[in-house]
């Protein structure tokens, strides 16, 4: 707790020192932002001439650029909001409903605290580590304190939208990723331990992975000069494999909850989980279709693939459940949907609608097997199945992206003459599967090693596991001094 307080103090102090840098007009915002489009602009035309002059055209051209930017910016701001909604309330409710009543606020609080914490870290150094210029493994410090991040577009990252938009959109991804891990540590990890571990994990696992896959010159980047071009449209490896695999490590490190698996630990409110799942589905349109970074046909295509995969995975899980257990359940339906959404994430900007259905079906059935069969086989206590859904689903999706990606949706590779080359196996490029495996392997390795090391450090400094008594009384009361419901009055 001391450590946290110190970190917090730092937060309280830092801005004073950076205000000066910020207070004078930033070089990256040479024009007042409002100049762009807020008021009706004079026509570009010189009314007298009957022949259009080049300068008239130039003015018009600028206005077109502004209109295109406004259109894309509208979609990206909405997408950013949708992705934030995925964490809070989406994921918080989804997880909150799955735990026992006495730990409801504790798990929801973790998602919420990460919304705040990662935002601060992102502003300080996170964005720079992910998208600043750097090595193939990690970005540099060029954008520390968001230096140079203004309303001008950055051609590498969404050339039609303000870089600030890109920055805040990517932040939302950085928030949800660690929040996913809390599904594995639920009901027994200390809040102080969670805060410290997640901060470290964000800096040392998420940031490198994000840079490698999406950063210019990143080792695994497919379009901006990586050595091993891995396809990951919206975060199958960066978000889901890293969080899912780390979740598994956390579950193993922390050990089982008191009484697991003997005692029944049914979800305290599937209604909450249901709401959360619906919001995840809706929010995921921002996550995947937003990853087009523009409001174009690619965004639509990703939107459709996302929806189709979620639907097919729901059906897949339900049929598997109905067949093997005799009854299809609401928890099965929502779990299936999330599995499908996870699996389509890396593929969403590369595949046509029908393959999206296939990816969804595979993920639905596959994650059902992971959660019901593999988990009980190995006996680890991944409380809310963060690994079973995100780790497994993310891995399936990353592989299937290599199978189904096609240049008809996005021409990722070109030959010397600029002609589109085949992208995935079905498109004629079987070698892509190899790159996908490299990407998957890298994500697994980083997550495994990073999580063990950082958990150990956290354990030594503030401790990770709540006391037995806390676990029995519930973390809501003992860690946060609250109860989720006080219905008796």
Partner 1 sequence: MKLIKAIVRPNKVDDVKEALGRVSLSGMTVTEVRGHGKQKGHTAIYRGKEYDVSLLPKMEIEVVVADNMVDDAVAAIIQAARTGEIGDGRVFVIPVEQSYRIRTGERSEL
Asked if 430 interacts with its own copies (CB under 8 A), we say no
> 13: burial class by Cβ within 10 Å (0-12, 13-18, 19+)?
exposed
- Return the residues of window 264-323 that contact partner 1 according to CB under 8 A: 264, 266-267
Asked if 479 interacts with partner 1 (CB under 8 A), we say no
Neighbouring CB atoms inside 10 A of 157's CB total 19
Nearest alpha-carbon partner for 160 in 73, 75, 74, 224? 73
Distance of CA 28 to the CA centre of its chain: 27
DSSP run (H or E) holding 436:
helix 431-461
Q: How far is the CB of 128 from its own copies (least distance, A)?
A: 13
Asked if 467 interacts with partner 1 (CB under 8 A), we say no
Asked if 263 interacts with partner 1 (CB under 8 A), we say yes
Only segment of 67-75, 131-139, 198-206, 389-397 that touches its own copies (CB under 8 A): 67-75
Asked if 244 interacts with partner 1 (CB under 8 A), we say no
Q: How far is the CB of 443 from partner 1 (least distance, A)?
A: 25
Q: Which of 30, 32, 255, 259 binds partner 1 (CB under 8 A)?
A: 259
Selection from its own copies, partner 1, none that 371 binds (CB < 5 to 8 A by kind) is partner 1
- Return the residues of window 194-253 that contact its own copies according to CB under 8 A: none
- Return the residues of window 112-141 that contact its own copies according to CB under 8 A: 112-113, 115-117, 119-120, 123
Asked if 351 interacts with partner 1 (CB under 8 A), we say no
Beta carbon nearer to its own copies, 32 or 441 = 32
* Apex 222 CA angle, 161 and 347, nearest 5: 80
Whole-number Cα distances in Å, 151 to 139, 163, 166: 21, 6, 10
Asked if 369 interacts with its own copies (CB under 8 A), we say no
Token pair, residue 367, equals: 């994650």
Asked if 271 interacts with its own copies (CB under 8 A), we say yes
Question: Any residues with CB less than 8 A from the CB of 300 and at least 6 apart, and which?
Answer: 289
Four-residue CA torsion sign, 457, 462, 465, 468: positive
Nearest alpha-carbon partner for 81 in 274, 285, 277, 249? 285
DSSP reduced 3-state for 318: helix
Asked if 98 interacts with its own copies (CB under 8 A), we say no
- Return the residues of window 294-313 that contact its own copies according to CB under 8 A: 294-301, 303-304, 307-308, 310-312
Q: How far is the CB of 258 from its own copies (least distance, A)?
A: 12
Pattern 154-183, its own copies, x by CB under 8 A: -x--xxxxx-xx-xx--x------------
Asked if 352 interacts with its own copies (CB under 8 A), we say yes
Nearest alpha-carbon partner for 210 in 202, 387, 294, 113? 202
Cα(first)–Cα(last) distance of the chain, in Å?
34
Asked if 272 interacts with its own copies (CB under 8 A), we say yes
Q: How far is the CB of 183 from its own copies (least distance, A)?
A: 17
DSSP-assigned letters across all residues of 450-478: HHHHHHHHHHHHT-SBPPHHHHHH-HHHH
Residues in contact with partner 1 by CB under 8 A are 259, 261, 263-264, 266-267, 325, 327, 329, 331-332, 335, 371-373, 375-376, 385, 472-473, 477-478, 481-483, 488-489
């Amino acid at each position: 707790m001391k450590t946290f307080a110190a970190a917090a103090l730092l937060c309280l102090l830092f801005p004073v020192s950076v205000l000066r840098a910020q207070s004078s007009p930033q070089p990256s915002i040479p024009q007042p932002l409002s100049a762009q489009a807020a008021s009706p602009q004079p026509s570009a035309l010189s009314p007298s001439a009957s022949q259009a002059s080049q300068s008239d055209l130039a003015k018009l051209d600028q206005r077109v650029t502004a209109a295109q930017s406004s259109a894309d910016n509208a979609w990206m701001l909405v997408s950013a909001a949708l992705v934030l909604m995925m964490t809070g309330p989406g994921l918080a409710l989804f997880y909150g409903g799955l735990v026992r009543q006495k730990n409801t606020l504790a798990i929801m609080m973790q998602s919420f605290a990460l919304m705040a914490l990662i935002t601060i870290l992102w502003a300080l150094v996170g964005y720079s580590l992910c998208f600043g210029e750097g090595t193939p493994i990690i970005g540099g410090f060029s954008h520390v304190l968001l230096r140079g991040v203004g309303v001008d577009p950055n051609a590498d990252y969404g050339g039609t939208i303000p870089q600030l938009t890109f920055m805040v959109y990517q932040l939302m991804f950085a928030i949800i990723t660690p929040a996913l891990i809390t599904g594995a540590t639920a009901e027994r990890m200390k809040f102080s331990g969670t805060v410290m571990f997640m901060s470290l994990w964000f800096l040392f696992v998420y940031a490198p992975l994000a840079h490698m896959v999406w950063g210019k010159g990143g080792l695994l980047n497919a379009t901006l000069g990586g050595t091993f071009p891995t396809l990951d449209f919206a975060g199958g490896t960066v978000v889901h494999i890293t969080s899912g695999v780390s979740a598994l490590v956390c579950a193993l490190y922390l050990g089982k909850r008191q009484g697991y698996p003997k005692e029944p630990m049914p979800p305290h409110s599937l209604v909450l989980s249901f709401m959360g799942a619906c919001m995840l589905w809706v929010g995921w349109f921002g996550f995947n279709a937003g990853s087009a970074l523009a409001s174009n046909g690619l965004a639509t295509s990703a939107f459709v693939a996302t929806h189709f995969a979620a639907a097919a995975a729901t059906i897949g899980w339900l049929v598997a459940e109905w067949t093997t257990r005799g009854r299809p359940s609401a928890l099965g339906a929502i779990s299936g949907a999330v599995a499908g959404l996870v699996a389509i994430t890396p593929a969403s900007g590369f595949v046509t609608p029908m393959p999206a259905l296939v990816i969804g079906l595979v993920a639905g059935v596959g994650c059902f097997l992971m959660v019901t069969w593999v988990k009980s086989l190995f006996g680890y206590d991944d409380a809310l199945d963060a690994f079973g859904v995100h780790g497994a689903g993310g891995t399936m999706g990353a592989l299937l992206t290599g199978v189904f990606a096609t240049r008809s949706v996005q021409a990722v590779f070109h030959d010397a003459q600029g002609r589109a080359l085949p992208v995935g196996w079905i498109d004629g490029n079987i070698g892509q599967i190899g790159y996908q495996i490299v990407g998957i392997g890298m994500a697994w390795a980083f997550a495994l090693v990073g999580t063990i090391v950082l958990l150990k450090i956290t354990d030594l400094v503030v401790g990770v596991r709540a006391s037995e008594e806390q676990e029995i009384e519930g973390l809501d009361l003992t860690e946060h001094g609250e109860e989720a419901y006080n219905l008796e009055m």
